[in-house]
């Protein structure tokens, strides 16, 4: 009643208070995607808000969902009218309307009420569509062609890849047509001669013994009245192809880990304008054959003999009498068919050739100027039978030869045999990818030019959300390298590297890097997908594996401290970045099972003593993998991670209202903390271990170097994980500084130590040292890689040195490995100072750490960063000027920020031209070199004059 009176009142006095707000929702998403097809029956909706008004926030929202756009009114919405819901929530909002059925198209819109309780305009309409909710809705069979016996060659068994087709007749006018398609293997489907969608490597990699994903394509405009051709190429992919280093380590199984014959299942559903409908499905009325695609394998590449092409085989009217009848393959009832929850792999960019050189043997080397994951498209002309061979490498040897030794057993070679088309021929592979910067092309009969080769960058389509730029060219290149490494390795799963015979989703790499990843790109749906793989791959005893999915690539590959914790760290970081509690709830049973496992392993002691993990191979697990100097005991690291996991579990239990679990894990964390303190520290707070217990270290990674608890990695982790009391944290910071100084101011950290190193220095007041390490170009450092011409992050600090060249090539030496790129977390979180204090950045701090003075061009004088959070765009930039510091901060609508302004007690601060007091923002006082203010949404220009 009051409200009505208020509205009446305000509407009568125009110009005094406006009745409407400009608070406008945009970027409507469902399950993290725009206009998706989903099989989630209570999908989550989100929107972002814009407003020209400062300090704006949402106090309520209303969602309408209807079966048509016309019905999107409060009165007519036939699926859901949420009514006015109070609160600030703009994401992770679950649909609570009528039950959703398969194939339903749901239109929706939303409006928000502002801080004054006034409603803004309705958003534009968005939509989502439901997939097939029951397996019984799949009427098609698995079809394929067993060509396994045609695999040839002593080293690689690579049979040709099958083609399948079917013509159908459509006699009515089409209103809507949907194609549902999947494969055990990989597929490329076309309707009337044109590929559907733009995805590569579909349907993706899962544990095919448990589930396989499918894609849905809107082909309404593709099908025509009359005859239509449905056609697909099928390949071996992750299902039936080579995986990892199985061949290298002489595993009894090297390929076909899930099955030998790749198979396709498809269903075209056509709704006619007259209300009737028809469904066309894969079955024994489909035809199969093999031809031009002679070899097709992810790790080993493709061989395409264009002379064997079936001209127009994918179009209506092709004569397929000579083709065989498709073979039917039995379904496994337990196999689940679900919609791919992640982003598709796509061509995300094309790259032109940078330079082109001829080799003494007549081959050409094309430099793409950038190391990346993808393929190349070639344009060539020649006689039928001319054979073009493409080999890929990340680096050149000093004599200009292509360096391929580090690919190990991945053949990574594409071969194209010309058909002899006078007009020229264009080709690109379909079911493989390589990690490379250089392409060696041999067999060309005509002199190539820059147009002969084009790079197609492949990767999971994760939109860019981060931006980081400074006036320091090395830092900018480093940031570019980090992002390129992420793009090269977020290819369906988070791989370790894209080039050699590995490309597995190593859990250790994934957990150290996940937070960095969230700063660069929107990885919400990417991890929604991968967490399922991870949970599917969990061992019955509770440990998460070394990599997921986990085909049996080597018997001894099981689990390792620092790796298995990905099962906790990843959902936690996704929760922190996006406010996602569903991932936690859905994975809770898995996560608690893992904590049970750890608890059991600790034998009631809540600390892992020396040799606790001696049963693993390598002993103790991987430890601080690829570190320098004496080794950090893996059991000590395992104990730290145990604490870290319990702590995260307590927070996640709280976030999901699991009170008993919260209590359990909080108590557990305290117990572990105590146990670590008692067992692994001496009276001075120094970390110590019984190094003698490791004997001569045999069996442990670099065990011969000896063990000590007093390492950079241990203090960095202790500080980062909040393991210590306030006093001991400060002490740990001092120890860390001592160790760095003893080491000539150089880092020695490996996979588990590099990520927390800079954040730990910053947290203990040693920002100058953090910057010194960050800006160094001396070996070992991030800058050293840049100074050596890298365009991506290396696997090892010494992947290349002038003294030793590529000395690790025979073992493992990737130039595109993101683990050390985890410094990105510090770049955004500390240098730019953007940190979430509430999940999803609904509240955050901006607390930039300014690069030390006096470094000239070697330092940073200006930094601009932004991060597009689920709650909108956050900006933090700073610039040093004579005696002044300029800052610019953007706080998105509906969020709050604590801006911490680097200053001394004698500085004067102007905020948008006023003093802090005049500007009326919340003054939170001054602490540790920062004046702190609390602000709502808006743009803030800050000038600090230092006297
Ligand atoms: C390597 C992988 C990965 C690492 C493991 C331990 O083979 O490339 O980066 O996690 O080993």
In a domain, 870, yes or no: yes
- Please write the tens of the pLDDT for every residue from 50-67: 999 999 999 999 999 999
In a domain, 847, yes or no: yes
Mean pLDDT of the chain: 96
Contact between 530 and 548 under an 8 Å Cβ cutoff? The reply is yes
pLDDT at res. 439: 98
Any idea what the Cα angle at residue 402 is, between residues 201 and 451, rounded to 5°? Answer: 65
Residue 5 has pLDDT above 90, yes or no: no
Contact 286 CB / ligand 1 (< 6 Å): no
pLDDT at res. 154: 80
Whether residue 494 sits in one domain with residue 627: yes
In a domain, 690, yes or no: yes
* Residue 9 CA, ligand 1 centroid: distance in Å: 68
Residue 14 has pLDDT above 70, yes or no: no
Q: Average pLDDT in the 358-383 region? A: 98
In a domain, 68, yes or no: no
Angstrom distance (rounded) from CA 682 to CA 707: 16
pLDDT at res. 228: 98
Whether residue 819 sits in one domain with residue 897: no
Q: Average pLDDT in the 618-634 region? A: 98
Residue 375 tokens, joined: 């393929």
Contact 624 CB / ligand 1 (< 6 Å): no
In a domain, 56, yes or no: no
Contact between 255 and 246 under an 8 Å Cβ cutoff? The reply is yes
Angstrom distance (rounded) from CA 324 to CA 302: 23
Contact 506 CB / ligand 1 (< 6 Å): yes
Residue nearest to atom 11 of ligand 1 (CA): 506
In a domain, 62, yes or no: no
Query: Percent of the chain scored above 90 by pLDDT?
Result: 96
Residue 6 has pLDDT above 50, yes or no: no
H or E stretch covering 896: strand 896-902
- Please write the tens of the pLDDT for every residue from 724-757: 999 999 999 999 999 999 999 999 999 999 999 9
Contact 305 CB / ligand 1 (< 6 Å): no
Contact between 449 and 356 under an 8 Å Cβ cutoff? The reply is yes
Contact 501 CB / ligand 1 (< 6 Å): no
Q: What are phi and psi of 408, to 5 degrees?
A: 55, -120
How many helical (H) and strand (E) elements, i.e. helices and strands, does the chain have? 16, 48
Residue 902 tokens, joined: 């680097």
In a domain, 430, yes or no: yes
Whether residue 237 sits in one domain with residue 154: yes
Residue 438 tokens, joined: 């250089």
pLDDT at res. 18: 54
Whether residue 294 sits in one domain with residue 229: yes
Angstrom distance (rounded) from CA 469 to CA 862: 8
CATH number at residue 373: 2.60.120.260
In a domain, 58, yes or no: no
pLDDT at res. 810: 86
Q: Which of 808, 831, 854 is the last residue in one of the domains? A: 831
- Positive or negative CA dihedral for 81, 86, 88, 89? negative
Measured from the CA of 508, which atom of ligand 1 is nearest? 10
Measured from the CA of 547, which atom of ligand 1 is nearest? 10
pLDDT at res. 920: 93
Whether residue 498 sits in one domain with residue 431: no
- Please write the tens of the pLDDT for every residue from 595-604: 999 999 999 9
Whether residue 815 sits in one domain with residue 676: yes
Residue 835 has pLDDT above 90, yes or no: yes
- Please write the tens of the pLDDT for every residue from 441-472: 999 999 999 999 999 999 999 999 999 999 99
- Please write the tens of the pLDDT for every residue from 864-885: 999 999 999 999 999 999 999 9
Whether residue 182 sits in one domain with residue 240: yes
Angstrom distance (rounded) from CA 826 to CA 487: 19
Whether residue 500 sits in one domain with residue 408: no
Residue 249 has pLDDT above 70, yes or no: yes
Whether residue 160 sits in one domain with residue 118: no
Contact between 507 and 566 under an 8 Å Cβ cutoff? The reply is yes
Contact 557 CB / ligand 1 (< 6 Å): no
Angstrom distance (rounded) from CA 426 to CA 354: 20
Contact 39 CB / ligand 1 (< 6 Å): no
pLDDT at res. 3: 45
Q: How many domains are there within the chain?
A: 5
Angstrom distance (rounded) from CA 734 to CA 515: 26
Mutate to test the pocket of ligand 1, among 410, 511, 619, 625 (most ligand atoms within 8 A of CB): 625
Whether residue 489 sits in one domain with residue 388: no
pLDDT at res. 947: 80
Whether residue 166 sits in one domain with residue 272: yes
Contact 496 CB / ligand 1 (< 6 Å): yes
pLDDT at res. 485: 99
CATH number at residue 591: 1.50.10.10
Q: Which of 114, 130, 146 is the last residue in one of the domains? A: 130
The residues assigned a catalytic role are 502, 795
pTM of the full predicted structure? 0.97
Beta strands in 466-619 (DSSP E): 466-470, 490-491, 493-494
Q: Average pLDDT in the 74-91 region? A: 98
* Residue 728 CA, ligand 1 centroid: distance in Å: 33
* Residue 408 CA, ligand 1 centroid: distance in Å: 14
Q: Specify the length of the chain in residues.
A: 947
- Please write the tens of the pLDDT for every residue from 279-300: 999 999 999 999 999 999 999 9
Contact between 281 and 541 under an 8 Å Cβ cutoff? The reply is no
Mutate to test the pocket of ligand 1, among 510, 812, 816, 821 (most ligand atoms within 8 A of CB): 812
Measured from the CA of 506, which atom of ligand 1 is nearest? 10
Q: Which domain holds residue 887?
A: 839-945
858: which DSSP letter? G
* Residue 509 CA, ligand 1 centroid: distance in Å: 7
Whether residue 686 sits in one domain with residue 802: yes
pLDDT at res. 153: 77
Query: Percent of the chain scored above 70 by pLDDT?
Result: 98
Q: Which of 318, 342, 366 is the last residue in one of the domains? A: 342
* Residue 847 CA, ligand 1 centroid: distance in Å: 34
Strand-strand pairing, 872-881 and 914-915: unpaired
Q: Average pLDDT in the 247-269 region? A: 98
């Amino acid at each position: 009643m009051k409200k009505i009176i208020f509205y009446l009142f305000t509407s009568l006095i125009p110009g005094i208070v406006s009745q409407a707000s400009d608070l406008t929702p945009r970027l409507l998403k469902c399950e993290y995607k725009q206009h998706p097809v989903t099989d989630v029956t209570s999908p989550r909706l989100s929107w972002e808000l814009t407003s020209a008004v400062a300090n704006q926030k949402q106090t309520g929202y209303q969602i309408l969902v209807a079966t048509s756009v016309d019905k999107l009114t409060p009165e007519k919405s036939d699926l859901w009218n949420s009514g006015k819901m109070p609160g600030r929530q703009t994401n992770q909002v679950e649909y609570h309307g009528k039950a959703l059925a398969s194939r339903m198209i749901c239109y929706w819109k939303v409006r928000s009420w502002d801080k004054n309780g006034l409603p803004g305009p309705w958003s534009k309409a968005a939509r989502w569509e439901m997939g097939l909710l029951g397996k019984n809705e799949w009427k098609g069979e698995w079809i394929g062609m067993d060509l396994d016996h045609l695999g040839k060659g002593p080293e690689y068994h690579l049979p040709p890849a099958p083609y399948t087709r079917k013509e159908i007749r459509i006699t009515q006018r089409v209103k809507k047509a949907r194609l549902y398609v999947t494969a055990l293997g990989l597929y490329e489907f076309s309707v009337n001669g044109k590929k559907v969608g733009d995805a590569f490597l579909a349907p993706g990699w899962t544990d095919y013994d448990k589930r396989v994903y499918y894609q849905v394509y809107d082909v309404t405009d593709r099908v025509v009245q009359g005859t239509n051709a449905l056609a697909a190429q099928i390949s071996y992919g992750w299902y039936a192809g080579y995986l990892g280093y199985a061949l290298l380590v002489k595993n009894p199984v090297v390929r076909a880990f899930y099955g030998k014959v790749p198979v396709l299942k498809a269903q075209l559903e056509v709704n006619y304008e007259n209300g009737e409908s028809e469904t066309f499905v894969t079955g024994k009325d489909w035809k199969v054959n093999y031809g031009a695609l002679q070899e097709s394998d992810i790790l080993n590449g493709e061989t395409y003999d264009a002379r064997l092409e079936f001209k127009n085989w994918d179009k209506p009217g092709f004569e397929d009498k000579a083709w065989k009848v498709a073979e039917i393959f039995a379904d496994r009832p337990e196999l689940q068919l679900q919609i791919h929850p992640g982003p598709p792999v796509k061509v995300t960019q094309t790259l032109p050739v940078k330079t082109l050189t001829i080799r003494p043997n007549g081959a050409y080397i094309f430099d793409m100027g950038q190391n990346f994951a993808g393929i190349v498209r070639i344009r060539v002309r020649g006689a039928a039978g001319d054979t073009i061979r493409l080999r890929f490498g990340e680096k050149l040897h000093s004599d200009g030869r292509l360096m391929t030794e580090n690919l190990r057993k991945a053949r990574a070679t594409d071969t194209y045999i010309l058909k002899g088309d006078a007009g020229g021929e264009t080709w690109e592979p379909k079911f493989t990818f390589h990690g490379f910067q250089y392409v060696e092309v041999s067999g060309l009969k005509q002199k190539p030019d820059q147009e002969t080769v084009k790079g197609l960058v492949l990767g999971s389509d994760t939109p860019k959300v981060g931006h980081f730029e400074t006036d320091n060219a090395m830092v900018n290149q480093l940031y570019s390298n980090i992002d390129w490494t992420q793009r090269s390795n977020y290819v369906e799963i988070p791989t370790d590297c894209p080039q050699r015979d590995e490309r597995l989703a190593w859990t250790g790499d994934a957990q150290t890097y996940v937070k960095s990843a969230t700063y660069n790109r929107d990885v919400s749906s990417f991890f929604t997908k991968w967490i399922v793989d991870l949970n599917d791959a969990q061992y019955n005893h509770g440990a998460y594996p070394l990599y997921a999915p986990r085909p049996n690539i080597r018997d001894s590959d099981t689990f390792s401290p620092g790796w298995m914790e990905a099962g906790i760290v990843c959902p936690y970081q996704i929760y922190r970045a996006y406010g996602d509690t569903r991932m936690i709830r859905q994975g809770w049973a898995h996560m608690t099972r893992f904590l049970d496992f750890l608890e059991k392993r600790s034998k009631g002691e809540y600390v892992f003593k020396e040799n606790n993990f001696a049963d693993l191979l390598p002993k103790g697990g991987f430890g601080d993998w690829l570190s320098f100097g004496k080794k950090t005991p893996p059991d000590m690291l395992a104990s730290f991670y145990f604490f870290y996991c319990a702590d995260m579990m307590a927070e996640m239990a709280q976030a999901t209202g699991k009170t008993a679990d919260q209590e359990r894990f909080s108590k557990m964390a305290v117990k572990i903390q105590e146990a670590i303190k008692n067992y692994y520290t001496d009276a001075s707070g120094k970390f110590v271990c019984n190094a003698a217990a490791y004997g001569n270290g045999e069996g442990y990674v670099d065990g011969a170097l000896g063990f000590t608890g007093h390492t950079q990695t241990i203090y960095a982790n202790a500080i980062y994980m909040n393991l210590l009391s306030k006093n001991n944290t400060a002490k740990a910071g001092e120890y860390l500084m001592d160790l760095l100084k003893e080491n000539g101011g150089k880092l020695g950290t490996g996979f588990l130590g590099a990520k927390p190193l800079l954040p730990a220095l910053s947290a203990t007041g040693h920002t100058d040292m953090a910057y010194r390490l960050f800006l160094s170009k001396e070996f070992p450092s991030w800058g050293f890689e840049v100074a050596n011409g890298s365009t991506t992050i290396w696997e090892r600090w010494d992947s290349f040195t002038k003294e030793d060249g590529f000395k690790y090539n025979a073992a493992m030496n990737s130039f595109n490995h993101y683990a050390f790129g985890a410094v990105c977390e510090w770049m955004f979180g500390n240098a730019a100072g953007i940190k979430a204090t509430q999940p999803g950045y609904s509240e955050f701090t901006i607390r930039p750490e300014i690069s030390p003075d006096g470094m000239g061009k070697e330092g940073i004088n200006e930094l601009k960063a932004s991060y597009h959070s689920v709650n909108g765009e956050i900006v933090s930039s700073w610039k040093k000027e004579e005696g002044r510091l300029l800052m610019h901060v953007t706080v998105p609508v509906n969020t709050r920020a604590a801006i911490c302004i680097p200053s001394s007690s004698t500085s004067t601060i102007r905020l948008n031209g006023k003093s802090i007091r005049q500007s009326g923002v919340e003054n939170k006082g001054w602490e540790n070199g920062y004046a702190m203010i609390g602000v709502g949404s808006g743009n803030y220009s800050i000038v600090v004059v230092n006297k």
